[in-house]
Structure 1
Amino acid sequence: MLSELSNVQLPPHEPGVVRRAVNHFLQKNEGDIMVTDVRCVPPDFHARFKALKRTYHYRILSGPEPLSAFEKNRAWHVPEDLDITAMNRASSILVGHHDFSSFRAAGCQANSPMRTLDELAVTEVLPALYFPSITERSATELLDLDTSRRFSTSSDASDAKMVKSENRREFGHRVRHRCFVVTARSRSFLYHQVRLMVGVLKSVGTGDLTVSDVERILDAKTVTVASPMAPGCGLYLGNVKYDLP
């Protein structure tokens, strides 16, 4: 989880004092989390019901190699190749105001299955334990472009291919997985909605479902027709937006 928000009622204290005090006890007990920000809010504020937008990220690592110890349980490992173009075409079908009953798990306490999905997109990023910013992605693209230029200006194209091939077969070199991040943004989501949508998008990426199948699943309005739900290990709450003073 990248971020989580909660509200508590405390006697008057400076926000910075509260943050340092809570983090002191979290570190003292070797906690795995830390408080990054504290704000004073009106008495009627509620971290769940006052949210204007929520953004979730879901990480998928694609490739036949097993995950390293650093990635295990931090992403969904999909051995097959994924077609990101098809996945984004399928995503566009789900964006908008719909009845998301087909992406609503049993036990959902929401009064209505109607939700407005503002964004659902799949992006390929560096296979690292963070979500690169736009600046970092641009720098990576420039590096890749520079590498391709150096190979293309070589006097012998076959030599360039040989160098690439040898680098791939270098002893001890670990083949990197392709890393895909599914970003979903809405004011609110149904129970397990994001994981169910990712499960369908993954099936589209592997070719088990077509883009037309996604429209059929959405129109069916029953979760029994959806693909198996994506595991929880790849889901991260990225950001929650509020109208704070």
Structure 2
Amino acid sequence: MSMRRYLLHIGYCGSMLRGVQKQREEHEALFVSVGGLVEKGLKRLRPESIEQLYFSSRTDTGKYLLVLLLPPFDAERLESVCRLLEGVHDFASFANVQSKGSIPRETLREIKSITVTPGQPLLDPTLDPLYSQLQFWDVTVHGKSFLYRQVRRTVGVLVGVAQGRLNLEDVQHLLDHPSQRNWNSKATVAPPDGLFLLDVEYPPHVFAEEGDDSGQSPQE
């Protein structure tokens, strides 16, 4: 009998949780992760053991959206820096500084696209009359995977260039001299408040039933 696969879209408030992945010290009496709570819920529906759970969180594959409230900026400069950051680069300068003694990680990443479009506040505009006097922008970063804080630092660089605190040469220097200690102090790290996972993309064959060739990728 073939194994069935299910895709769950889960939204949650993580203030009382310790990340997405199940922690080693967790047990049924005290679950502190999203994975642990999901596993507990699935076992209530069907007591048999769960074969495997896979999670995509904010630092995994997908599109990430950051809602920003910005003062006036140069749209042409913003477009230029978006194109500069797209593609495959060593983003070590955009990663969070590792703790002393930690093992360096691979910092080569690909940003497929960065788009900045007029947006809307996350809350109902009728809740605050000031919303009608403000302009919101959505920054969408699309990539296969990201380093810790890479998206927030990327947006900080975009804003810095658009507002004239940084120039394209400064950004090119970050890419040409990748180092976790090479961050430009003129660039601020975007706040986490408006950051969320917008979408996760999977190849069609991931959801194909065993023996079903309809979802298989074409042979090279």
Aligned to 1:206: 163
1:121 positional shift = 1.7
CA contact (8 A) 1:123 1:181 kept: yes
CA distance in 1, matches of 2:130, 2:54: 50
Does 1:217 pair with 2:208? no
CA contact (8 A) 1:52 1:241 kept: no
CA distance in 2, matches of 1:46, 1:110: 25
Rg bigger for which structure? 1
Alignment of 1:36-51 (within 5 A): 43-48=51-56
Alignment of 1:163-242 (within 5 A): 176-223=133-180, 224-226=182-184, 227-242=187-202
Does 1:60 pair with 2:68? yes
1:45 positional shift = 4.0
| Cα distance change on mapping 1:106 and 1:177 into 2, 3 Å | same
Unaligned 5+ segments in structure 2 are 1-9, 13-19, 21-33, 124-128, 209-220
CA distance in 1, matches of 2:117, 2:134: 14
Does 1:92 pair with 2:97? no
| Cα distance change on mapping 1:110 and 1:188 into 2, 3 Å | farther
1:128 positional shift = 2.9
Does 1:244 pair with 2:207? yes
1:43 positional shift = 2.7
Does 1:13 pair with 2:45? yes
| Cα distance change on mapping 1:178 and 1:95 into 2, 3 Å | same
CA contact (8 A) 1:3 1:238 kept: no
**How many residues are matched?**
157
| Residue 122 (structure 2) aligned to one of 119, 126, 129 | 129
CA contact (8 A) 1:3 1:237 kept: no
| Cα distance change on mapping 1:3 and 1:184 into 2, 3 Å | farther
Higher helix share: 1
For the aligned residue pairs, the C-alpha RMSD in angstroms reads 3.1
Highest RCO, 1 vs 2 (Cα 8 Å, sep ≥ 6): 1
1:100 positional shift = 0.4
TM-score by length of 2: 0.60
1:228 positional shift = 2.3
1:238 positional shift = 1.2
TM-score by length of 1: 0.55
Alignment of 1:133-148 (within 5 A): none
CA distance in 1, matches of 2:11, 2:172: 32
| Cα distance change on mapping 1:11 and 1:234 into 2, 3 Å | closer
The code of the aligned residue for 1:200 comes to V
1:54 positional shift = 1.1
Cα displacement string for residues 86-140 of structure 1 (whole angstroms, at most 9, x for unaligned residues): 1121011111111101101123877200111111121123x4327xxxxxxxxxx
CA contact (8 A) 2:117 2:138 kept: yes
The DSSP-based 3-state class of the residue aligned with 1:90 is helix
CA distance in 2, matches of 1:241, 1:181: 20
The code of the aligned residue for 1:128 comes to P
Aligned identity (percent) is 27
| Cα distance change on mapping 1:241 and 1:12 into 2, 3 Å | farther
Cα displacement string for residues 139-191 of structure 1 (whole angstroms, at most 9, x for unaligned residues): xxxxxxxxxxxxxxxxxxxxxxxxxxxxxxxxx88752221111011121001
